[in-house]
Every structure is written in C-alpha cells, then in structure tokens.
Structure 1
Amino acid sequence: MYDIFIDTHFAGAHHLRDYPGDCEKPHGHNWKVRVTVRAAKVDKCGMGMDFTLLKKVVKEVIDLLDHHDLNTLPYFQEKNPSSEYIAEFIYGEVRARLTDDNHRIFSVRVLETDTQGLIYYGPEGPKF
C-alpha cells in the first residue's frame, strides 16, 4: 500500500454565513492543501501514481478555487465555504477525475494557517 501526495496552495476570500464572530465578515486566506492518493500496488514503471498526472489533476481542481470569492461558487451556495467543506469539495473533484482502478483519493488536508487545519477522508473514511 502506498500513499502518494501533492502539496499545493491557493488564495481566496470567503465569509461564513450565520457565524457568530469575525469570520462572518469577508476575509481571505492562503490555504495550504495536501491531496493524498492511495495505491494498492505499483505499475510497470514502479509508481503507485505518476506525480505528473496527480499534479495535473490537483491543479485543475485548485484552479477552480484560486483567487475567487468562494461564496460565489455554485458548490458553496448551500454550504458555508469552511475549511471542512473546502476539503470536501476538493476531495469530490479529485475523485471524479481519477479513473484508474489502481489508485483512489485517500484524503485532503486543508490548512487555514500554519498551525490549524483539518484532514478529510471522504464519506467512506475512518469511522468516528
């Protein structure tokens, strides 16, 4: 079993609707993101997943968020653009773009700052 990951980042603005505090006001972050893919085995080249392909897929998804007001994006019309839902969005978009049965998305880590963040494992992730 192999966990392959890409670290990236994006800048964006958001506000949390109905939040009782400062985050209800429009503000921005430079989010850091780690997308981890799990592979059961390596291919004939000795790779669980080619980094070039993973970088391409992750960039396509991050470009949907980078330098946007997240509250204006369709996904966040019904959901607050919290780090939790940002991770869920990235997870779903990456998952939809991975078509090889040998690897699948495992987790998405989102950091709002260097000292706070979360990891989303998807709907079938570890049990609570």
Structure 2
Amino acid sequence: MSKIRITKQFSFEAGHALYGYDGKCKNVHGHSYKLSVTVIGNPISETSHVKLGMVIDFGDLKKIVKEEIVDKFDHATVFNKNTPHIELATELERHGHNVILVDYQPTSEQMIIDFSEKIKTRLPEGIQLHSLKLQETESSYAEWYASDN
C-alpha cells in the first residue's frame, strides 16, 4: 500500500515579543501566520469504510489543528512566562485580552516545535505528522520535519 502525504493550510493572527532580543522584535508586534500541516499514512482501503480512499478526512485534520492551535493562538498575544512581559500579560488579561504564556521564547522556531507536539498527540492511529511549515511573514518561515526529530 502506498504512503500518501496530505497537507492542510491554516492562518491565524497573533502578537508576541521577544524578550532580550537585540532587534525590533523585542517590541510587542504581530504577524499573520500561515501554518501548513502535512500528515502521512495509507489511504483507507476497507470498502465498507465511510472514509474509503482517504488518509484522514481533511475535516478531521482541520478539527484537530483548529482546536489545538488556531482557536487558541488566533488574536492572542504570546509571551514567555519567564520574562518581565508577565506584568504586561497580567494587565492585558485584566482588560479581557487573550494572552498565552509559554515556556519558551515565542519565535517561529519554538512555536512550531510546540505545535508539532500538540498535533501529534491528537492524530489517529496509523497517521503520522510528517511536517509543519509556519510562515511568519511573506518571506520568513520555520519548518519542522518528523524525519529530523
């Protein structure tokens, strides 16, 4: 049976700040992120299965990624919980803003590692996460490949 890769693309808006960074990104700013999620598996061959011919229903993959990533990160501000931005985060939350405090510097590289862990735990048996691409700007992105990890 052939292994097939399928990809679904998502987008979300999020803000962040890189504490201790020596450039403009030390300031709170935002991005229009684009996330491509590629999984790999064998298409279902059981003729009586309602998902015959699919590796995974795109709708099922969408549900996983929306619940784990998009719905949480969209229009949120992401800060490393171990930086002085915690004071700003507390104030923003007090005013009803969506703030996510993470254990890492919220770069595209670290976010994509976090996303890979969240998605992998939700995939059905027989489906593996193959790769992720997190595009921060039109010309800048991070990629994660299972084969590298």
Q: With the length of structure 1 as denominator, give the TM-score of the two structures.
A: 0.88
Q: Which position in structure 2 is the counterpart of 1:42?
A: 43
Q: Which has the larger radius of gyration?
A: 2
* Whole-Å separation in 2 of the counterparts to 1:121 and 1:65: 22
1:30 positional shift: 0.5
Q: Which position in structure 1 is the counterpart of 2:100?
A: 73
Matched residue SS, 2:19: coil
- Specify which of 12, 18, 22 is matched with residue 20 of structure 1: 22
Matched residue SS, 1:16: coil
Q: Which position in structure 2 is the counterpart of 1:109?
A: 133
Q: With the length of structure 2 as denominator, give the TM-score of the two structures.
A: 0.76
Sequence identity (%): 30
Q: Which position in structure 1 is the counterpart of 2:92?
A: none
* Whole-Å separation in 1 of the counterparts to 2:20 and 2:66: 31
The runs of 4+ residues in structure 1 deviating greater than 6 Å are none
1:86 positional shift: 1.2
1:73 positional shift: 2.0
Q: Which position in structure 1 is the counterpart of 2:90?
A: none
1:28 positional shift: 0.4
> Structure 2 regions of 5+ residues with no counterpart?
47-51, 80-98
* Whole-Å separation in 1 of the counterparts to 2:58 and 2:10: 13
User: How many equivalent residue pairs?
Assistant: 121
Q: Which position in structure 1 is the counterpart of 2:114?
A: 89
> Structure 1 regions of 5+ residues with no counterpart?
none
Q: Is the 8 A contact 1:11 1:66 kept in 2?
A: yes
Q: Partner amino acid for 1:5?
A: T
